[in-house]
Amino acid sequence: MMLKRLLTAAAVSSLALTACGGGGGGADTGAKSATSAAPTSTAAAVKGDGTLTIGTLLPQTGSLAFLGPPEFAGVDAAVKEINDAGGVLGKPVSKIDTDSGDTTTNIASQSVDKLLTQKADAIIGAASSSVSESVIDKITGAGVVQFSPANTSDKFTTINDNGLYFRTAPPDKLQGRVLGDLIVADGNDTVGILAMQDSYGSGLADQVTKTAEAAGASVVERVDYDPKAADFSADVAKIKAANPKAVVLIGFEESAKVVAELVKQGLTADKVKWYMVDGNMSNSNYLKMPKGTLAGVKGTIPGAAAPTDFRKKLLAINPKLTSYTYAAESYDATILIALAAEAAKDDSGRSIAAKLPEVSEGGEKCKTFKSCVDLLKTGKDIDYDGVSGPVEFNAAGDPSVATIGVYQYGENNEYDATKALEYRTGKIES
C-alpha cells in the first residue's frame, strides 16, 4: 500500500522516461511534509454524512472551455456506472457541476464556495493548473479531496495540500521530455519557444528547453508572453529574428492568434516545424483558418487514446463530442473516489484520501467499478486499472506511470483524436 504518501518527508519527483514503439494563482508551494500529508487526528475523526457528493470544477467558459465537454462526459459516464451498480455505501452518488472559468475571473472561487456549501466530499478539477493553484488552499483546507484530471504543472508534486490533492494527469516533466525528444529526433537543432506566462506554460517550456538542449539542440529564443495580450506581433518577431528550425507553441485558446501571427510573418508550418501541447491542440479556432495551415504540425497530449467502447459510452452521454482529451482521466478520477469511499466505509474527504493509494495498487486487479466494489465487499484488496492507464499513485499523489501520445494535424487543420503517431510511457517516482 502507498503508506509512503503519509510518511514521506519531502516528495520530490524524479522521472525516468522509456520510449515505447508504436503506438494549465496563489497557493502555498512549500514542499509536502509528513505533517502536511497526514490528516490530523482531529480531522481524521470527522465522518461523512453517508452520501458521497462529488463536485466538478471544470471549464464551461474561459480559455480551456474546449476541454470541458470530454471531462464532464467522463465524470457523467462514471457516475452513471457507479449508480447503476448500486451507488456508494448503499446510496446513489450525488453530483454537482460548476464552472471553473479561467484565471481572468473569480468564477472558480465562487464555484468552490458553492460546492463546499453543498457539502461536496471530493471536487474533480480544475483543468487549468493556475486555476487549481488559486483554490487548492480553500478546498483542501476544508478537508475536501481535490482531484484533477488535467493539471500538469510540476508545482503540484510538492504543493502543500494536507494529503488531499491527487491527479490522473502526469506532471509536465513527462510531457516536456517527450516533446523535447521529439523535436530533436525530427532533426531540429535550433528551437524557438512561445509560451504563455503562467505555471503551466513556463514550467512546460522549462522542461522542453532542458530536454532539447541535453539532446544537443539550442533554444535560440524563448518568449513567455501574456496570454491576455491583444497582439502577439512583437513576440513572434523575436522568434523570427532568431531563425529557428522549429517553433514550440505552449498555450491555450490564444494560440490561434499566435498561429495567425506566425503565418503573417512568414513562419508557416511548411517552412518551420511547429509543435503544440495538450493546452492548445483541440482548438476549434484552427478550423476557421485556410486548409493546410496546420498540416504536418505535431503535438503531445497526456494519456493513451480512448478505447472504442469508452468513446461510445461518452457519445451516449454527449453525442456532440469531437475531442476525448482528459475524458478517461476524468472518468478514472470519479471511479477511484467512489472506490476509496467504499474501501474506507466513509464518504468524508480525508477518509477518501487515505484510501485512494490503496485502491489503486497492490491488490487484485479489476477494471470496472462493479467488479472492484464486489471484491471490496468480500474483504479483498483491489488494484483498479483505469481507462487512462494503471493509475497507481506515488507519494506525491501523482500517477506513477503515464503515457504521452504524439499526434499530427492533417490538411483540415484537425488531428485524429483516436490515433497517435506513437505513444511514449514514463515512470514518475517520488
Residue 292 lies in domain? 173-302+404-429
Do both 64 and 166 map to the same domain? Answer: yes
Instruction: Spell out the per-residue pLDDT of the chain, length 430, in tens.
Output: 443 333 333 333 333 333 333 334 333 333 343 333 434 333 445 789 999 999 999 999 998 999 999 999 999 999 999 999 999 999 999 999 999 999 999 999 999 999 999 999 999 999 999 999 999 999 999 999 999 999 988 899 999 999 999 999 988 889 999 999 999 999 999 999 999 999 899 999 999 999 999 999 999 999 999 999 999 999 999 999 999 999 999 999 999 999 999 999 999 999 999 999 999 998 889 999 999 999 999 999 988 778 899 999 999 999 999 889 899 999 999 999 999 999 999 999 999 999 999 999 999 999 999 999 999 999 999 999 999 988 899 889 999 888 899 999 999 999 988 889 998 887 775 5
Do both 295 and 312 map to the same domain? Answer: no
Do both 189 and 154 map to the same domain? Answer: no
Residue 220 is part of a domain; what is its CATH number? Answer: 3.40.50.2300
CB-based burial, 321-354: b 16+ in 10 Å, e otherwise: bebbbbbbbbbbbbbbbbbbbbbbebbbbbbbbb
What's the CA gap between 93 and 101, in Å, rounded?
25
CB-CB contact of 164 with 143 (8 Å)? yes
Number of domains in the chain: 2
What's the CA gap between 121 and 73, in Å, rounded?
20
CB-CB contact of 236 with 267 (8 Å)? yes
Do both 158 and 61 map to the same domain? Answer: yes
CB-CB contact of 28 with 158 (8 Å)? no
SS3 388: coil
The pTM score is 0.81
In Å, what is the CA distance from 418 to each residue of 69, 132, 386? 16, 28, 17
What's the CA gap between 389 and 149, in Å, rounded?
13
Closest-CA residue to 93 (of 378, 317, 369, 380): 369
SS3 112: helix
Identity at 208, one-letter amino acid code: V
Contacts of 389 (CB under 8 A, 6+ apart): 303, 304, 399, 401, 402, 403
Do both 374 and 272 map to the same domain? Answer: no
Do both 56 and 166 map to the same domain? Answer: yes
Do both 178 and 160 map to the same domain? Answer: no
Do both 145 and 48 map to the same domain? Answer: yes
Q: How many of the other CB atoms lie within 10 Å of CB of 289?
A: 15
pLDDT of residue 372: 98
CB-CB contact of 384 with 342 (8 Å)? no
Do both 156 and 195 map to the same domain? Answer: no
Identity at 420, one-letter amino acid code: A
Cα dihedral sign, 331-337-343-347: negative
Per 3-state DSSP, the chain is made up of helix, strand and coil in percentages (nearest 5) of 40, 20, 40
What's the CA gap between 26 and 349, in Å, rounded?
23
Identity at 106, one-letter amino acid code: N
CB-CB contact of 339 with 175 (8 Å)? no
Closest-CA residue to 223 (of 282, 89, 209): 209
pLDDT of residue 430: 53
Do both 162 and 182 map to the same domain? Answer: no
